[in-house]
Amino acid sequence: MLHNDQLSQWDRENFFHPSTHLAKHARGDMPTRVISGAKGVYIEDRDGKKLLDAFAGLYCVNVGYGRTEIAEAISAQAHELAYYHSYVGHGTEASITLAKMVMDRAPANMSKVYFGLGGSDANETNIKLLWYYNNILGRPKKKKIISRWRGYHGSGLVTGSLTGLELFHKKFDLPLDQVIHTEAPYYFRRDDLDMSEADFTNHCVQKLEELIAREGAENIAGFIGEPVLGTGGIVPPPEGYWPAIQAVLKKHDILLISDEVVTGFGRTGSMMGSTHYGMEPDIITIAKGLTSAYAPLSGSIVSDKVWKVLEDGTDEFGPIGHGWTYSAHPIGAAAGVANLKLIDDLNLIENNTVTGDYLRAGFMERLGDHPNVGDIRGVGMLAAIEFVEEKQGRKFFDPSKTVGAQVSAALAAKGVIGRAMPQGDILGFAPPFCLTKDEADIVITNTEMAVREVLG
């Protein structure tokens, strides 16, 4: 076995890591952690340190680590047929079965699922489908896409543009012109502190109406949103938000993409986040929870309405010119089948509501009165704690103080992973669905200690 020093040197010399301070990493100014194994909600590094992963990797290992049922399904598939493509109507038992399982779990008006690899490429697919759709319908100008500030939809050219976080635009010449952003549905960060939640929803709706009026509905193809803002801060929508937004979109014939890369397959406590919040999307993006990250796989679920136009389009113009070599990869599909079955067999979605509520209640009890804890929020197996310098008047910390990152580091030192969300001082939690109350207690206790250590 290689020594850790050797690995660390090779890492610094050869490995270009995503979302990393490249210079600090190359210079060895930041710690590298080499993960060597995992079981349940715990990961272990090569130094033998065990950490309770209360973010499930990147909110993706939903069934928890070390599930032999999925590992065996992957192994069996690799032995039988590691790869064949899915172009021109080819399939495998795994990919066809998974398509059926996904559609059985999707809202009733959904028609088919297209498989990709990750959330970013699925959203790239979705935008292309909207453009194709409007071209087929003879509306070549109806192409712009509305996204929200603080939305996260990926790191590609269009998807990085859809993402409404500064870090993902800065120095990349993004967003592209076809993408426009509207108000984030983030009640805690409203400008007018006297505004009620319902009034804030009306304010978001008004901002959307203004944007549509400015750009012209005839130029706007779609609106994309996560049912619950994820990377932008783990923010459930304000009261009545989705039905009100949906009504505006319907009025202007703007299609809705529900990006369920995080919320799909149970994280909110419902099978789909869109159903949880009364959304009626035309397209749903799925990824992480589809395989619990045991293998890369994503999907774009299209509604009957969209499918009908796509069908007509290929009758008129020939096969759709869109495909990835690894679309519906048999190994990812086998992982997906085993994963969705496990979620059902173990009743994991139910656990999200029960244990997730318990986790948030614990945070509230232990930290609700802390002078620097401005907000504790979440839904299902999602939670966030937002820090403020002063509660009165909701004064935020100067970002240079990196309070969120410090609390997250203090928590990791105590053996629990909570993620410092990239914009604001927000500590995020998205544990595996199998988290027990005892494990939730460990998260709560250590979070309280970490917060008090950093903030007093």
Nearest-angstrom CA–CA distance, 9 and 79: 35
The sheet that has 50-53: what strands, in order across it? Answer: 35-39, 42-45, 50-53, 416-417
In the window 131-170, what residues touch ligand PLP (CB under 6 A)? 152-154
Structure token pair of residue 72: 């065996």
Name which position in 124, 183, 259, 386 contacts ligand PLP (CB under 6 A): 259
Please give the full DSSP string across 410-449, using - where no structure is assigned. HHHHTTEE-EE-SSSSEEEE---TT--HHHHHHHHHHHHH
Name which position in 53, 124, 183, 226 contacts ligand PLP (CB under 6 A): 226
Least distance from C-beta 339 to ligand PLP, angstroms? 15
Q: For residue 57, how many C-alpha atoms fall within 13 Å in the half-sphere facing its CB?
A: 18
Helices within 298-402 (DSSP H only): 304-317, 330-345, 348-367
Q: 262 vs 454, which CB is nearer to ligand PLP?
A: 262
Number of C-beta neighbours around residue 57 at 10 A: 18
In the window 9-28, what residues touch ligand PLP (CB under 6 A)? none
Contact 297, 32 (CB under 8 A): no
97-136 footprint of ligand PLP as x/- string (CB under 6 A)? ---------------------xxx--x-------------
Name which position in 38, 283, 287, 367 contacts ligand PLP (CB under 6 A): 287
For residue 168, CA distances in Å to 149, 171, 236 come to 12, 9, 22
Number of C-beta neighbours around residue 134 at 10 A: 20
Residue 332 binds to ligand PLP (criterion: CB under 6 A): no
Nearest-angstrom CA–CA distance, 87 and 124: 18
Place of tokens 């009743």: 347
Name the one range near ligand PLP by CB under 6 A: 86-94, 225-233, 308-316, 323-331: 225-233
Residue 52 binds to ligand PLP (criterion: CB under 6 A): no
Least distance from C-beta 230 to ligand PLP, angstroms? 5
Q: 286 vs 403, which CB is nearer to ligand PLP?
A: 286
Q: How many residues bind ligand PLP (CB under 6 A)?
A: 15
Least distance from C-beta 303 to ligand PLP, angstroms? 19
Q: Which residue is nearest to ligand PLP (CB)?
A: 119
Least distance from C-beta 164 to ligand PLP, angstroms? 12
* Residue 109, φ and ψ in degrees, nearest 5: -85, 10
Q: 99 vs 261, which CB is nearer to ligand PLP?
A: 261
Give residue 281's identity as a one-letter amino acid code: P
Name which position in 51, 184, 261, 328 contacts ligand PLP (CB under 6 A): 261
Least distance from C-beta 35 to ligand PLP, angstroms? 18
Q: Strand 35-39 relative to strand 419-420: parallel, antiparallel, unpaired?
A: unpaired
Least distance from C-beta 335 to ligand PLP, angstroms? 15
In the window 297-326, what residues touch ligand PLP (CB under 6 A)? none
Q: 152 vs 429, which CB is nearer to ligand PLP?
A: 152
Binding site for ligand PLP (CB under 6 A): 58, 118-120, 123, 152-154, 226, 230-231, 259, 261-262, 287
